[in-house]
Amino acid sequence: MATTHKLQIYQQTSQYRDWRFTPESLAQQRAANNKQGIERVLQGLREEAQVDDGSGATETRIAEATNNLLSPQEEVELIDYYLQTILTYTRIYQRDKLLKAEATNNVKATAINFVKRFYLHNVVFDYPPKTIMLTCFYLATKVENSFVKIDDFIRPLTTAEIKRNGKAQTKSEDILDLEFVVIQSLQFELAVHHPFRPAYGFYLDMQAYIDDKPLLKEVYERTHHYIDQSLYTDLVFLYQPSQIALGAFKLAAKDKELDIDPYLTECFEARLLETLYTILDDIQEIILAHKSITLEKAREIDRKLILCRNPEKNPNSKLYKKNAADKEDAPYVSDSDPE
């Protein structure tokens, strides 16, 4: 079967090898990251207390941080909010003709995937998601062959900030300085496989089995809506792109009252079909169950994050400024200098 062959090819990719989890292993990974992140926050605050000016402000900061530490679920929710803004930015860059039309879906999906991968190895205490999201978006334009110059990339952002706050806040260096940090966290694996291409493949295949071509086209177009929804879930870590595409197709077909089961029965062996239906049911359930975090909830979590940032990574903290000054004052030693 052609579909089986595609699965075998996908199983040779780094995405399948290094970015595949179970729901349990994902939860464990995020809980472990969160615990380690909290330890770094508290350690950083203790170190900052040693450079305090004696005002006692750091002791207050430690108490505030301890009372406002984010849970793993709150981290996921805050990240999810900023993932949702990627769709808004995509529309802005489309409007300004900064993204190639044919690359838009892949740029959006790759940016979202990069953010989700990044936070499997990092926490929001160290790297707040807004700038990470922008860095991942900018990196995705390069990876998906739709490169945007950095000045053009930040222009719509700063324009919106000036309208909203009276001044620009996003700087090009904010994004560029984090680019290598992101690439390292992605393990230098920048190829991402999405459900869009297999969905188109299924659409072409189904034309040989389904007579109502206009209705099939409507179903395919509706499939993109559900693929977009899938991007914000953990499905990319749980199932293969072709399986997600088919699950989205099933949802779209249900919306449009088109029965695609005859196609599945024809294309898959009976012994495989039972397993496939179980997978597709789970995919559909996860897509439908996903609810985007509200702006109010995101603001609530963001306010807590302000109080529990890791000072070692926060450019506004005393500890960060001291460490930066120490690095500047350190004597330069060349690798070629004799001992």
Q: Which of 133, 175, 129 is nearest to 150 (CA)?
A: 175
216 and 138, same domain (yes or no): no
Better pLDDT: 79 or 63: 79
Contact 219, 252 (CB under 8 A): yes
Please report whether residue 240 resides in a domain: yes
Please report whether residue 70 resides in a domain: yes
Q: How much is the pLDDT for 317?
A: 66
Per the prediction, the chain carries an average pLDDT of 88
**SS3 state of residue 312:** coil
317 and 180, same domain (yes or no): yes
Average pLDDT for 60-75: 90
Please report whether residue 328 resides in a domain: no
172 and 143, same domain (yes or no): yes
Q: How much is the pLDDT for 50?
A: 79
Model pLDDT for residues 133-190, shown as the tens digit of each residue: 999 999 999 999 888 899 999 888 888 878 887 877 788 999 999 999 999 999 999 9
58 and 151, same domain (yes or no): yes
Domain that holds residue 90: 19-192+293-321
179 and 42, same domain (yes or no): yes
258 and 139, same domain (yes or no): no
Please report whether residue 334 resides in a domain: no
**CA 337 to each of CA 68, 269, 332: distance values in angstroms, whole numbers, following the listed order:** 48, 68, 10
Average pLDDT for 72-90: 93
Spatial CB neighbours of 277, under 8 Å, sequence gap ≥ 6: none
Average pLDDT for 218-223: 96
Lowest-confidence segment of 36-40, 42-46, 80-84 by average pLDDT = 42-46
Look up the pTM and report it.
0.89
Integer Cα distance of 159 and 118 in angstroms: 28
Q: Quickly state the pLDDT bin for 330 (edges 50, 70, 90).
A: low
Please report whether residue 278 resides in a domain: yes
Integer Cα distance of 64 and 309 in angstroms: 11
236 and 304, same domain (yes or no): no
The answer on pLDDT for 334 being more than 50 is: no
Q: How much is the pLDDT for 192?
A: 93
Angle of CA points 312, 39, 330, to nearest 5°: 30
Q: How much is the pLDDT for 156?
A: 85
Select the highest-mean-pLDDT range: 57-66, 96-105, 281-290.
Answer: 281-290
- Residue 159, Cβ neighbours under 10 Å: how many? 13
Integer Cα distance of 66 and 38 in angstroms: 9
Q: Look up residue 98 and give its two tokens.
A: 């900064």
Lowest-confidence segment of 20-24, 140-144, 166-170, 328-332 by average pLDDT = 328-332
240 and 299, same domain (yes or no): no
**CA 267 to each of CA 1, 5, 40, 271: distance values in angstroms, whole numbers, following the listed order:** 7, 13, 52, 12
Integer Cα distance of 119 and 313 in angstroms: 15
112 and 216, same domain (yes or no): no
The answer on pLDDT for 326 being more than 70 is: no
Please report whether residue 9 resides in a domain: no
Please report whether residue 3 resides in a domain: no
Q: Look up residue 68 and give its two tokens.
A: 């406002």
Q: How much is the pLDDT for 304?
A: 95
The DSSP code for 70 is: P
Model pLDDT for residues 191-205, shown as the tens digit of each residue: 899 999 999 999 999
Integer Cα distance of 56 and 289 in angstroms: 47
Better pLDDT: 327 or 294: 294
**The CATH number of the domain where 252 resides is what?**
1.10.472.10
When divided into structural domains, the chain yields a total of: 2
Q: How much is the pLDDT for 2?
A: 47
Please report whether residue 88 resides in a domain: yes
Q: What percent of the chain is modeled with pLDDT above 70? A: 90
Residues in the chain: 339
Q: How much is the pLDDT for 333?
A: 47
Q: What percent of the chain is modeled with pLDDT above 90? A: 58
CA atoms within 13 A on the CB side of 246: 23
203 and 227, same domain (yes or no): yes
108 and 228, same domain (yes or no): no
48 and 88, same domain (yes or no): yes
